[in-house]
Chain A
Amino acid sequence: MITGTGVTKTYRQRGSILGARQVPALRGVDFAVPRGGAVSFIGESGCGKTTLGRIIAGLETYDDGDIVIDGTSMSGLGHRARQPFFRRVQLIHQDPYSALNPTRTIHQTLSAPLALRARQTGRSRSWTDERAEELLSLVGIDPGYVLPRYPHQLSGGMRQRVVIARALTMDPDVLVADEAVSMIDVSLRLGILSLLKDLRVRLGVGVLFITHDIATARYIGDDSELYVIYRGQVVERGPTETIIAEPVHPYTQSLLSAIPVLHGLERPGEEQVVPTEALDEGRADEGCLFARRCPFVTERCEHEMPVLGRGGGEVQRHACFHPQPRSVIPVGAGQ
């Protein structure tokens, strides 16, 4: 189990006329990835998703708040003492092409981390080959075929499975999948998604799933939770199916309205929401962060910042003064 409370991160960019510019990437984010659970983060480019994933994987520091891994607070530990905890979180990158070393066979790629793991857990060297085969079978590829080959000899889907197998060599508690299916061919995407779902059940590994393609979040398990993040703030969260079918925050509605409609198969939702302006990160933070783009903005929104609170139901939460359900997603043409 990993929880975050009030996780805050501000990048300082050099080089602007006014000296260092502050870029708030995360503004007090709370989250929890239960054992074997799944949490998805959606939001536009630059809203802080990758930053959060990297913080959870120990690849980036945070300025404020806390990350708690299996009951241990990371804020209380020094850099070295944190490492064994962060090793339980493994990051899967977007690009299965650059993630694997092109000069090494898959066997070599898996052997190095497995040898380390064997030392850590007091196992013999012969265990590593067995384990490599076991992991490849687990991710749904034939070890005999894959092990002697180089990455360029494999399809994108196979490569991503190898990347996942490599992440599993560390026996992680949580996999962070940052756009892990967006570069995979559409015909193979569902295969990777059901693999992630399967790993949750079979290994009890939690999944933090970061995506632009919101529909894919439905396929990592019907018990998953969805977080909508905007300019570093979680603005709506709840069960994935609920947030997609009955979003109440105008930003969530904007994201869902932007998803292409498969005309002929589907018709667009009747109350689509289109932001009035493009994302502009470099502006003042007074009031609601979405106010300048929100079609439903009122006087109050300009001056007061809404916080994530309880919504209509017990489980759905939002940060908006004027929440309102709207039907924005496409529906089947036959319905």
Chain B
Amino acid sequence: MTSTTHAPGVRIRDLTVVYRTPAGELPAVRGVDLELVPGTITGVVGESGSGKSTLALSLLNAVQPPGRIAAGAVEIDGLGDVLTLGGEDLRRTRGRQVGYVFQAAQNSLNPLKTIGKQLLDLGRSHDVADPRALVRDAKVLLARMGLDGGRVLDSYQHELSGGMRQRVGIMLALVLNAKVVVLDEPTTALDMITQATILRIIREVHEERELTTLVITHDVGAIAEVADGLAVMYGGRIVEHGPVRKVLATPRHPYTQGLIRAIPRLSGDISLARALPGRPPTLGTLPAQGCVFRERCERRLAVCDTDDPVVITRNGRSVACHAVERAAAVAMRKEYA
């Protein structure tokens, strides 16, 4: 956030990732541009299958077959385009420069080894010269997150609660001093109090260590608590992106509007909330041309069936929608008339 931050910037450019299916290669992420401003937390929200995890994996050039990064670039300051890295360079980047907490970190730990053993394995695979210093750093991080480091390192995964495992995941992502951190669904399946604790820890550690952070979730509330910027993903496209408070207060894309209206709320008139009609697309049902959201859209125009809306950015807010663009054009003509 400060101009003196040491955090690196990340620029995702025109990224397309496809999965091989019986119906041919289909895009899970298509033509995505996204900039992670140094020192900020960017949240990506979207329904299941919208391509969030695939996007996150691309930051580490870690998409696995039958998936393939078909086009684009992921530039990280000081590293260059990670999509051109291979072999040793790539292996070193993961963990050292880019830390990753996988979806359901709760299950991604090895059940047969203590956390401490897994930490030492991680150190060995990155040629850490001083394992003692690594353990010390891990304990400091765990203590920072309110855990007894010694006890946690001696534990097996099944001896830890969901919230503790999530913190272990964050520790493993940060312990090699990565400056770019990707968290995929960090609070899903946690209860509210544990979730609030984890979100607070993410925010604090992010600031103390001067990180650039990407948080992926289907939960708009979690993003609202933790992120600076909000990117909304649908059918492999980023349909809206902007400062989180502004997007929540005045959502512009019809999907963002529908999503926010569908959130169960603690206060206010419950009859104002409404489920979004229709169902989320899957790879097989995504239209080959035109707007990905049109089947569920109330503002659909004829052009939406044929032309993909392009992303238009104004005053730090980006939207990809024909109807929004038309309304803006009309408003502008009025202003100049």
Contact = CB atoms under 8 A, between A and B. Distances in A.
Interface in A243-278: 244-245, 254-266, 275, 278
A214 B192 contact: yes
B248 A264 contact: yes
Contacts of A117: none
B282 to A, nearest CB: 8
Contacts of B191: 43-45, 212
A52 B307 CA distance: 53
Contact of B262 (A182, A189, A261, A278): A189
A191 B264 CA distance: 11
B280 A259 contact: no
Interface string B181-212: 00000000111111111010000000000000
Interface residues of A, number: 49
Contact of A260 (B224, B270, B273): B224
A70 interface: no
A262 B262 CA distance: 13
Interface string A183-197: 001111111011000
Interface in B244-272: 244-249, 258-260, 262-268, 270
A143 interface: no
Contact of B244 (A188, A189, A219, A263): A263
A256 B222 CA distance: 14
Interface residues of B, number: 47
Contacts of A45: 161-162, 190-191, 194
B318 to A, nearest CB: 17
A258 B279 contact: no
B274 interface: yes
A214 B266 contact: yes
Interface of B: 47-48, 146, 161-163, 189-197, 199, 218-222, 224-225, 244-249, 258-260, 262-268, 270, 273-276, 279-280, 282
The 7 nearest A-B residue pairs measured at CB: A260-B221, A264-B245, A264-B248, A187-B276, A264-B249, A258-B196, A215-B264
Given A45-B191, A188-B280, A329-B267, 10 more contacts: A45-B161, A155-B279, A185-B280, A190-B274, A215-B266, A222-B270, A257-B196, A259-B196, A262-B265, A331-B267
Interface of A: 43-46, 155-158, 182, 185-191, 193-194, 212-216, 218-219, 222, 244-245, 254-266, 275, 278-279, 329-333
